[in-house]
Structure 1
Amino acid sequence: MGWSPDEEYVAHVNRALDTGLLDQVMISQDRGWYDPDKPGGGTPEPFTHLVDSFLPALRAPGVDEDTITTLTRTNPFRAFAR
């Protein structure tokens, strides 16, 4: 199973934001390097895709830093805080 391009996910997030769902969306990373089709699982890659690629793509259409903070820190904290 391949990865969808970031542009598709950026479009999904922007649609959610446009419909007023900011407080209901979280962004995190679960993009590992393991590939069961390759010996030893493949070549390890850093877990930096979110900050190196996705968030810059999300910022490009004009998502501001306060919104990024809400999506990556505030909402996850609220969802998982006990």
Structure 2
Amino acid sequence: MRIVFVLAGLIAVLVFAAACGDDDGGPDATPVETQKFFDCTEAFPGSAPDAAAFPAEVTDGSGRSVTIEAAPLAIASLSAG
């Protein structure tokens, strides 16, 4: 009876090993060129601010207004990511 369990286990191992093998040995699909992601460390060629757009008045969702007198020289982002 023990030999039956050993043979059943051996057959199961062989079936699983055969399933993990290579498919047909044919050539793989040609690689597709992917789009380059944005690199945060690389300098970004931005555009100059439009000086004619200042002074600008901005109103938030609460109805408060702020006047920005000149184009900003730098922007500090407070986002989490």
Q: Same fold (TM over 0.5)?
A: no
* Greater C-alpha Rg: 2
TM-score, normalised to structure 2, is 0.23
TM-score, normalised to structure 1, is 0.23
